[in-house]
Amino acid sequence: MKNIETLADFDSEFGTEEQCLHFLTNLRWPNGYRCPRCRHDEAWLLNEKKYKCKNCKYQTTVTAGTVFQDTHLPLTCWFRAVWYISSNAEKATAIGLQKEIGIKSYRTAFLIFQKIKYANAHGNSLKPLQGTVEVGKAFFSIVSCYVNIAVEIKNGKSRYIQASLQEDLNTFIERNIKPQSIILAEGWSGSHILAAKGYGKKSNTYSYSFPYFKKARKKLESFLYEKSNGKKIQDKNLAESLIREFCQKFNAKIVETDFYELLQKMIQVKPITDLSDKK
Protein backbone atom coordinates (compact mmCIF):
# COMPACT_ATOMS: atom_id res chain seq x y z
CA MET A 1 0.00 0.00 0.00
CA LYS A 2 1.21 3.45 -0.90
CA ASN A 3 2.27 5.82 1.89
CA ILE A 4 -0.19 8.69 2.16
CA GLU A 5 2.01 11.60 3.18
CA THR A 6 0.51 14.53 1.24
CA LEU A 7 -2.90 15.66 0.01
CA ALA A 8 -1.77 14.84 -3.53
CA ASP A 9 -1.03 11.26 -2.40
CA PHE A 10 -4.47 11.03 -0.85
CA ASP A 11 -6.29 12.36 -3.91
CA SER A 12 -4.37 9.99 -6.13
CA GLU A 13 -5.39 6.92 -4.10
CA PHE A 14 -8.75 7.90 -2.61
CA GLY A 15 -10.03 10.88 -4.55
CA THR A 16 -13.18 9.14 -5.83
CA GLU A 17 -16.02 7.20 -4.27
CA GLU A 18 -15.12 4.18 -6.43
CA GLN A 19 -11.54 4.12 -5.15
CA CYS A 20 -12.68 4.29 -1.53
CA LEU A 21 -15.30 1.59 -1.99
CA HIS A 22 -12.83 -0.71 -3.75
CA PHE A 23 -10.31 -0.30 -0.94
CA LEU A 24 -12.96 -0.79 1.75
CA THR A 25 -14.20 -3.97 0.05
CA ASN A 26 -10.69 -5.45 0.01
CA LEU A 27 -10.15 -4.39 3.63
CA ARG A 28 -13.44 -5.98 4.73
CA TRP A 29 -12.99 -9.16 2.69
CA PRO A 30 -9.26 -9.58 1.92
CA ASN A 31 -9.85 -13.16 0.75
CA GLY A 32 -13.05 -12.39 -1.11
CA TYR A 33 -16.69 -12.03 -0.06
CA ARG A 34 -17.87 -13.95 2.99
CA CYS A 35 -21.50 -13.99 4.11
CA PRO A 36 -21.62 -12.62 7.68
CA ARG A 37 -24.40 -15.09 8.50
CA CYS A 38 -23.39 -18.45 6.97
CA ARG A 39 -19.79 -17.72 5.80
CA HIS A 40 -20.58 -18.78 2.22
CA ASP A 41 -18.18 -17.29 -0.33
CA GLU A 42 -20.48 -16.66 -3.29
CA ALA A 43 -22.99 -13.83 -3.74
CA TRP A 44 -24.98 -11.90 -6.30
CA LEU A 45 -23.93 -8.26 -6.55
CA LEU A 46 -27.21 -6.32 -6.34
CA ASN A 47 -25.54 -2.93 -6.73
CA GLU A 48 -22.10 -1.44 -6.17
CA LYS A 49 -22.42 -1.87 -2.38
CA LYS A 50 -25.01 -4.59 -1.74
CA TYR A 51 -24.47 -8.36 -1.87
CA LYS A 52 -26.94 -11.26 -1.65
CA CYS A 53 -25.60 -14.60 -0.46
CA LYS A 54 -26.20 -17.44 -2.92
CA ASN A 55 -26.58 -19.90 -0.05
CA CYS A 56 -28.76 -18.31 2.65
CA LYS A 57 -29.97 -15.30 0.59
CA TYR A 58 -28.85 -12.89 3.31
CA GLN A 59 -28.23 -9.36 2.02
CA THR A 60 -25.41 -7.19 3.27
CA THR A 61 -23.24 -4.26 2.25
CA VAL A 62 -19.54 -3.56 2.49
CA THR A 63 -20.19 -1.03 5.25
CA ALA A 64 -22.73 -3.08 7.26
CA GLY A 65 -21.52 -3.92 10.74
CA THR A 66 -18.82 -1.25 10.69
CA VAL A 67 -18.55 2.36 11.81
CA PHE A 68 -19.51 3.34 8.24
CA GLN A 69 -22.91 1.61 8.48
CA ASP A 70 -25.94 3.75 7.50
CA THR A 71 -23.76 6.77 6.75
CA HIS A 72 -25.30 9.54 4.67
CA LEU A 73 -21.91 10.94 3.75
CA PRO A 74 -19.68 9.95 0.84
CA LEU A 75 -16.85 7.57 1.67
CA THR A 76 -14.44 10.17 0.33
CA CYS A 77 -15.43 12.43 3.26
CA TRP A 78 -14.84 9.63 5.74
CA PHE A 79 -11.48 8.67 4.25
CA ARG A 80 -10.37 12.30 4.22
CA ALA A 81 -11.43 12.62 7.87
CA VAL A 82 -9.47 9.49 8.83
CA TRP A 83 -6.42 10.82 6.99
CA TYR A 84 -6.74 14.19 8.76
CA ILE A 85 -6.91 12.59 12.23
CA SER A 86 -4.11 10.10 11.55
CA SER A 87 -1.90 12.91 10.20
CA ASN A 88 -2.50 15.24 13.13
CA ALA A 89 -2.89 12.73 15.99
CA GLU A 90 -3.54 14.54 19.31
CA LYS A 91 -3.61 17.94 17.57
CA ALA A 92 -6.69 17.02 15.50
CA THR A 93 -9.94 18.85 16.36
CA ALA A 94 -13.54 18.71 15.17
CA ILE A 95 -13.22 22.24 13.77
CA GLY A 96 -10.06 21.30 11.92
CA LEU A 97 -11.81 18.23 10.53
CA GLN A 98 -14.76 20.36 9.40
CA LYS A 99 -12.41 22.58 7.41
CA GLU A 100 -10.45 19.63 6.04
CA ILE A 101 -13.44 17.77 4.56
CA GLY A 102 -15.33 20.94 3.62
CA ILE A 103 -18.76 20.45 5.21
CA LYS A 104 -20.97 23.24 6.54
CA SER A 105 -22.33 21.54 9.64
CA TYR A 106 -20.10 21.58 12.70
CA ARG A 107 -22.40 19.01 14.34
CA THR A 108 -21.75 16.58 11.48
CA ALA A 109 -18.00 17.17 11.71
CA PHE A 110 -18.12 16.66 15.47
CA LEU A 111 -20.01 13.37 15.12
CA ILE A 112 -17.55 12.08 12.52
CA PHE A 113 -14.70 13.13 14.78
CA GLN A 114 -16.28 11.30 17.74
CA LYS A 115 -16.92 8.12 15.76
CA ILE A 116 -13.34 7.93 14.50
CA LYS A 117 -12.00 8.64 17.98
CA TYR A 118 -14.25 5.92 19.40
CA ALA A 119 -13.10 3.42 16.78
CA ASN A 120 -9.49 4.29 17.56
CA ALA A 121 -9.97 3.89 21.31
CA HIS A 122 -11.96 0.65 21.05
CA GLY A 123 -9.56 -0.74 18.48
CA ASN A 124 -6.64 0.00 20.79
CA SER A 125 -8.26 -2.05 23.56
CA LEU A 126 -8.39 -5.06 21.22
CA LYS A 127 -4.93 -4.60 19.80
CA PRO A 128 -2.21 -7.01 21.01
CA LEU A 129 1.02 -5.45 22.22
CA GLN A 130 4.10 -5.83 20.04
CA GLY A 131 7.74 -4.87 19.70
CA THR A 132 9.52 -4.42 23.02
CA VAL A 133 7.22 -5.14 25.97
CA GLU A 134 7.88 -4.94 29.71
CA VAL A 135 5.99 -7.63 31.59
CA GLY A 136 5.63 -8.13 35.31
CA LYS A 137 3.44 -9.33 38.15
CA ALA A 138 2.69 -7.24 41.23
CA PHE A 139 0.66 -7.87 44.38
CA PHE A 140 -2.17 -5.37 44.83
CA SER A 141 -3.44 -5.29 48.41
CA ILE A 142 -6.65 -3.57 47.32
CA VAL A 143 -7.68 -6.70 45.40
CA SER A 144 -5.71 -9.13 47.59
CA CYS A 145 -4.02 -10.86 44.65
CA TYR A 146 -1.39 -10.52 41.96
CA VAL A 147 -1.99 -8.56 38.78
CA ASN A 148 -0.15 -9.15 35.50
CA ILE A 149 0.86 -5.97 33.67
CA ALA A 150 2.38 -5.58 30.21
CA VAL A 151 3.56 -2.28 28.72
CA GLU A 152 4.50 -1.77 25.09
CA ILE A 153 7.47 0.58 24.69
CA LYS A 154 8.08 2.69 21.61
CA ASN A 155 10.45 5.63 21.15
CA GLY A 156 11.17 5.75 24.87
CA LYS A 157 7.49 6.02 25.88
CA SER A 158 4.72 3.77 27.18
CA ARG A 159 2.45 3.11 24.23
CA TYR A 160 -0.19 0.53 25.15
CA ILE A 161 -0.99 -1.35 28.36
CA GLN A 162 -2.71 -4.66 29.09
CA ALA A 163 -3.36 -6.13 32.54
CA SER A 164 -5.30 -8.95 34.19
CA LEU A 165 -5.77 -10.72 37.53
CA GLN A 166 -4.00 -13.92 38.66
CA GLU A 167 -3.37 -15.41 35.23
CA ASP A 168 -0.46 -17.65 34.36
CA LEU A 169 2.18 -15.31 32.96
CA ASN A 170 2.77 -17.38 29.82
CA THR A 171 -0.96 -17.46 29.08
CA PHE A 172 -1.18 -13.71 29.70
CA ILE A 173 1.71 -13.07 27.28
CA GLU A 174 0.24 -15.29 24.56
CA ARG A 175 -3.17 -13.64 24.89
CA ASN A 176 -1.96 -10.05 24.90
CA ILE A 177 1.36 -9.87 23.05
CA LYS A 178 2.19 -10.70 19.43
CA PRO A 179 4.77 -13.40 18.68
CA GLN A 180 8.16 -12.04 17.54
CA SER A 181 7.97 -9.43 20.31
CA ILE A 182 10.86 -8.97 22.74
CA ILE A 183 9.80 -9.62 26.32
CA LEU A 184 11.46 -7.82 29.24
CA ALA A 185 10.39 -9.74 32.33
CA GLU A 186 11.90 -9.96 35.78
CA GLY A 187 12.21 -13.48 37.13
CA TRP A 188 10.26 -15.00 34.23
CA SER A 189 10.91 -18.72 34.09
CA GLY A 190 8.69 -19.51 31.13
CA SER A 191 10.79 -17.97 28.37
CA HIS A 192 11.84 -21.37 27.01
CA ILE A 193 8.18 -22.35 26.56
CA LEU A 194 7.28 -19.26 24.53
CA ALA A 195 10.57 -19.12 22.64
CA ALA A 196 9.32 -21.96 20.44
CA LYS A 197 6.27 -19.84 19.62
CA GLY A 198 8.31 -16.92 18.37
CA TYR A 199 8.71 -14.78 21.48
CA GLY A 200 12.12 -13.40 22.36
CA LYS A 201 13.57 -12.46 25.74
CA LYS A 202 16.15 -9.77 26.23
CA SER A 203 19.15 -11.08 28.12
CA ASN A 204 20.90 -9.41 31.07
CA THR A 205 17.83 -7.81 32.66
CA TYR A 206 19.15 -8.28 36.20
CA SER A 207 20.16 -4.62 36.52
CA TYR A 208 17.18 -3.34 34.52
CA SER A 209 14.75 -1.26 36.62
CA PHE A 210 11.52 -1.84 34.61
CA PRO A 211 10.48 1.84 34.72
CA TYR A 212 7.43 1.52 32.44
CA PHE A 213 6.03 -1.46 34.33
CA LYS A 214 6.49 0.36 37.66
CA LYS A 215 4.82 3.51 36.36
CA ALA A 216 1.87 1.54 34.99
CA ARG A 217 1.55 -0.38 38.27
CA LYS A 218 1.43 2.87 40.24
CA LYS A 219 -1.20 4.38 37.92
CA LEU A 220 -3.35 1.25 38.01
CA GLU A 221 -3.17 1.04 41.80
CA SER A 222 -4.17 4.71 42.14
CA PHE A 223 -7.05 4.14 39.71
CA LEU A 224 -8.36 1.17 41.72
CA TYR A 225 -8.10 3.09 45.01
CA GLU A 226 -9.97 6.03 43.50
CA LYS A 227 -12.74 3.82 42.08
CA SER A 228 -13.22 1.95 45.36
CA ASN A 229 -12.78 4.97 47.65
CA GLY A 230 -9.86 3.19 49.27
CA LYS A 231 -11.89 0.12 50.22
CA LYS A 232 -10.79 -3.40 49.37
CA ILE A 233 -12.37 -4.84 46.23
CA GLN A 234 -13.60 -8.29 47.24
CA ASP A 235 -15.45 -9.10 44.03
CA LYS A 236 -12.85 -10.40 41.55
CA ASN A 237 -15.19 -9.85 38.57
CA LEU A 238 -15.52 -6.20 39.55
CA ALA A 239 -11.76 -5.93 39.96
CA GLU A 240 -11.19 -7.43 36.50
CA SER A 241 -13.76 -5.05 35.02
CA LEU A 242 -12.03 -2.04 36.60
CA ILE A 243 -8.65 -3.21 35.33
CA ARG A 244 -10.07 -3.46 31.80
CA GLU A 245 -11.54 0.05 32.18
CA PHE A 246 -8.14 1.39 33.21
CA CYS A 247 -6.42 -0.20 30.20
CA GLN A 248 -9.09 1.10 27.82
CA LYS A 249 -8.79 4.65 29.17
CA PHE A 250 -5.00 4.58 29.01
CA ASN A 251 -4.93 3.13 25.50
CA ALA A 252 -7.62 5.52 24.26
CA LYS A 253 -5.11 8.36 24.64
CA ILE A 254 -3.02 6.89 21.83
CA VAL A 255 -4.20 8.18 18.46
CA GLU A 256 -3.21 5.88 15.62
CA THR A 257 -0.91 7.76 13.25
CA ASP A 258 -1.04 5.11 10.53
CA PHE A 259 -3.84 5.90 8.07
CA TYR A 260 -4.37 2.28 7.05
CA GLU A 261 -4.42 0.96 10.63
CA LEU A 262 -7.02 3.52 11.60
CA LEU A 263 -9.17 2.49 8.63
CA GLN A 264 -8.80 -1.14 9.74
CA LYS A 265 -10.19 -0.19 13.16
CA MET A 266 -13.15 1.50 11.46
CA ILE A 267 -13.96 -1.84 9.85
CA GLN A 268 -13.46 -3.92 13.00
CA VAL A 269 -15.51 -1.78 15.38
CA LYS A 270 -19.27 -2.29 15.40
CA PRO A 271 -21.67 0.53 14.42
CA ILE A 272 -22.08 3.35 16.90
CA THR A 273 -25.86 3.51 17.07
CA ASP A 274 -26.27 6.47 19.41
CA LEU A 275 -24.68 8.93 16.99
CA SER A 276 -25.94 10.15 13.64
CA ASP A 277 -24.14 11.79 10.74
CA LYS A 278 -27.18 13.06 8.85
CA LYS A 279 -26.58 16.42 7.22
Amino acid at 254: I
The pLDDT value recorded for residue 96 is: 95
Q: Domain for residue 53, yes or no?
A: no
| Pair (107, 177) in one structural domain | no
| Pair (142, 103) in one structural domain | no
| Pair (177, 229) in one structural domain | yes
Q: Domain for residue 261, yes or no?
A: yes
Res. 185: pLDDT tops 90: no
Q: Domain for residue 80, yes or no?
A: yes
Q: Domain for residue 49, yes or no?
A: no
Domain count, the chain: 2
Q: Domain for residue 245, yes or no?
A: yes
Res. 6: pLDDT tops 90: no
Q: Nearest 5°: CA angle at 130, between 213 and 119?
A: 100
| Pair (188, 108) in one structural domain | no
Res. 88: pLDDT tops 80: yes
Whole-angstrom Cα distance, residue 3 to residue 10?
9
The pLDDT tens digits for 208-225 are 889 999 999 999 999 999
Q: Domain for residue 38, yes or no?
A: no
pTM over 0.85: no
The pLDDT tens digits for 231-268 are 999 999 999 999 988 988 888 777 656 889 899 989 98
166 three-state secondary structure = coil
| Pair (154, 75) in one structural domain | no
Range of the domain at 229: 132-252
Q: Domain for residue 274, yes or no?
A: no
| Three-class DSSP labels, 90-139 | HHCCHHHHHHHHCCCCHHHHHHHHHHHHHHHHHHHHHCCECCEEEEEEEE
| Beta-strand pair 132-140/182-185 | parallel
